[in-house]
Amino acid sequence: MANAVPQRQYKIGEVAEHLGITARTIRYYEERGLLDVPSDRAKGSHRLYTEADIARLHDLLQLREFLGLTLEELTELAEVTQAQQCLQDRWDTTTTDEQRVRIIRSAIPNVQRQLQLVQARQRRLADFAQQLTDKLDRMHDNLRRLSPRRGRR
């Protein structure tokens, strides 16, 4: 069924542009083991990516950007995303229900952890926004105190 749809593949430049990064970054992530490299790619031949590969890389980039992680921390935190294949890819055709259940069960706590970290970040950002708002208020107060409106007094 899903077999009938041949997957479109994307070149590294297309992926990079779509994600707003450079090809160098993608190659570097591969070098660091963050991207699973197809074992059959001949040295020197073009890299090709599926939509699932792109989605995974997109997740990695968001985690790194919003949480400010090193690539090492990212590697740990993202092992889940391996199992995120479950959402696409060859998941449909090559896995038994039992395997799927096991994969999802092991992936859930990891996504929960990511969500917790993001939520902690949200709280800290909200604090910072409040600090800036307070500062603006104080500045306006000071202005009012220092330059009383003409016509008053």
Partner DNA sequence: TTGCTCCTCACGTCACGTGAGGTGGC
Residues of this chain that bind a second copy (CB under 8 A): 62, 65-66, 68, 84, 86-87, 97, 100-101, 104-105, 107-108, 111-112, 114-115, 118-119, 121-122, 124-126, 128-129, 131-133, 135-136, 138-140, 142-143, 146-147
Does position 24 bind DNA by CB under 7 A? yes
DSSP class of 9: -
Minimum separation from the CB atom of position 41 to a second copy (A): 29
**Partner in contact with 32, chosen from DNA, a second copy, none, beta carbon below 5 to 8 Å by kind:** DNA
Does position 18 bind DNA by CB under 7 A? no
Enumerate the β-bridge partners of residue 11: 48
Minimum separation from the CB atom of position 141 to a second copy (A): 10
22: left (phi over 0), alpha (psi -120 to 50) or beta: beta
